[in-house]
Every structure is written in C-alpha cells, then in structure tokens.
Amino acid sequence: MLLDAASLYFRSFHGVPDTFTAPDGTVVNAVRGFLDSVAYLVTMRGPRRLVACWDEDWRPAFRVEAIPSYKAHRVANPRTNEEEVPDLLTPQVPLIIEALSLLGICRAGAAGYEADDVIGTLTARQVAGGQGLVDVVTGDRDLFQLADDAARVRVLYVGRGLRRLEIVDQEWLSGKYGVGTGPMYAEMATLRGDPSDGLPGVAGIGEKTAAGMLNRFGTLTALRAAAADPASDLSPGQRKKIVEASDYLDAAPAVVTVAPDAPIPGLDDTLPDTPPDHDALMAFAEQWGVSSSVSRVVQAMTKAAR
C-alpha cells in the first residue's frame, strides 16, 4: 500500500474540526485525522507492506521548466517556491513525520520529486519484480494513470471521503471517463487540462471530447499525427485546436506523467506488527493528545500481521 501522504493530511486538516488540540493547545486535527486514516486503511485492507510517500519537492523544477504555470497559483513565496499551506497545518506536518517514525511505518521521498513520482517509481519496481497487488491511496486524480489490471495495480480514491473510497481499476476508468487504461487517462488529462494544477489543456477540448478522440485514434501521438494530416477525418475545427496547441502538447506529457524512476534507495517497507519503541510512542501520543488515534493504528498493525 502506497499512501499519498500530503493528500491524506490536507484532507484530514480540512475534514476534522480544529477543536482537536493537544494539552498545550496546539491544534492536532490533521495528525489525528491522518492517523485515523492509516488505522482504517490498514484494518480494512490488511497490507503487509506500507509506505507513506512524501513530497520532497511539491513543484519540481523539471515540471515548471516544461510548463511555467504548473501550480503557480499555489505559490506562497515566489522567492523560496514555498507552497501555500494553512498556518494551523504547517506545525502538524513534523508531528505526522514523527508519528510515522515512532510507529515504524516506512516514509519515502526523493529530492526534486513529488509524492506522485515516488508512488510511480515504487509501483514500477513492484510490477517489474512481479511481487503482487499494489494499492495506491490518494485523493488526487493524477494517479489514476497507474491503474493497471494486468499488473494488479489499483487506486483507492478517497476524493469523496475515506469511508466512501472508490476502487479505481480499468473498468472504473472506462465507466467514469470513457478511457480504458491508465496511460489513456493521462493523455485525456493532458488534453483536458487541470486548472487546479495550472495546466491549461487544449482550448475547446473537454473531457468527453478528449476521451472520444483518444478512443478513435488510440494514442495522443496518433491523434496529433491525424491533426497534422489534412487527409485525416478529423474535423477542421478539431484539427486546428490540436495544431495550435502543439507547444503545450510537446511539454505537457512530462508534467502529467508520473516518473517511474525517481532516485529512491531500497526500503524496508514491511509493516511492523508492533512499534519499535512502544514507550516513546505512548509518550508522544500523550504529549500531543492523540492516544486514541495511535492506539487504533497499533491495533490495526497487529491485526494485519496475523
């Protein structure tokens, strides 16, 4: 199981009331919600290996160089390229990191890469090794591109809430978006664009049109070739839209596609049956007022090991 950690703790912050505080008054709603999410996922899915995947760079230079508008609207400080994060969430992120360490849960990131790339890389390694099912947990649609029935990779999408998570496989993609594979979803997303990430897409081509054209021509490369061919049966209007977006379409795949080769060292990602230092974990839990949440994670870990 691969967790899109930032996706989960942002959702926890916005979904759990900020009335949950530590004894010293520090707001810990994101910590509590994140830990409860881990406990629920481990209880319900029983993974034996688990990695919390981290954004070491939320807006990597290689993506900004390709498309300068990438996440530009979410930059809090242009000089330092810091992301706009709610003031009450910022001090909770180190606590989540400490909690994961004390629980013995593996955390992984890669300098210059997003958590999506960490997930993509660890998924690619798992598939190459033929080591079995991968569950990717996220609230981010970008990772739908990893869904692959043959490789036994699916996405547990929590966009509607953890208890209403949707299992994204190829059948789900086909029913929801009209595209039958993860890579085709990525190409549809490239054409459609994504304002939340600052990706403009191709002007005048929405989700349904993009899916229809990709189903018709098979790939974005073939679609672009058809647009460049006056003899193709693309309508003049569609041909014009694709051709005029050539610069964007040259750059966008490198931004939309998650990296399969981020520099991540070998990991010990076995989910332990008990925390490595129970006393230190309990002291942390008491200090920050999250004893019940920590206990739920520990119980889930023990159950999953059986």
Six-digit token pair at 204?
């005048």
Percent of the chain with pLDDT over 90: 91
Residue 82: band (very low, low, confident or very high) from pLDDT cuts 50, 70, 90: confident
pLDDT of 120 strictly over 80: yes
Q: In the predicted model, is pLDDT for residue 281 greater than 90?
A: yes
- How many CB atoms are closer than 10 A to CB 40? 16
Best CA proximity match to 2, nearest among 200, 170, 173, 156: 156
Other CB atoms closer than 10 Å to residue 9's CB: what's the count?
24
Instruction: Give the pLDDT confidence score for residue 306 in this predicted structure.
Output: 81
Name the pLDDT band for 130 (thresholds 50, 70, 90). Answer: confident
What pLDDT is recorded for position 76? 83
116-130 CB burial, b ≥16 within 10 A, e <16:
bbbbbbbbbbbbeee
- In this prediction, residue 80 carries a pLDDT of 81
* Confidence band of 278 (pLDDT split at 50, 70, 90): very high
pTM of the model: 0.95
Give the CA count within 13 Å in the CB-facing half-sphere of 49.
15
Neighbours of 133 (CB within 10 A): 12
Does the structure show a pLDDT above 90 at 132? Answer: no
Is residue 236 over pLDDT 80?
A: yes
- Percent over 70 (pLDDT), the chain: 100
Q: What average pLDDT score do residues 130-149 get? A: 94
* Cα–Cα distance measured from residue 82 to residue 106, given in angstroms and rounded to the nearest whole number: 25
Per-residue pLDDT tens over the stretch 56-73: 999 999 999 999 999 999
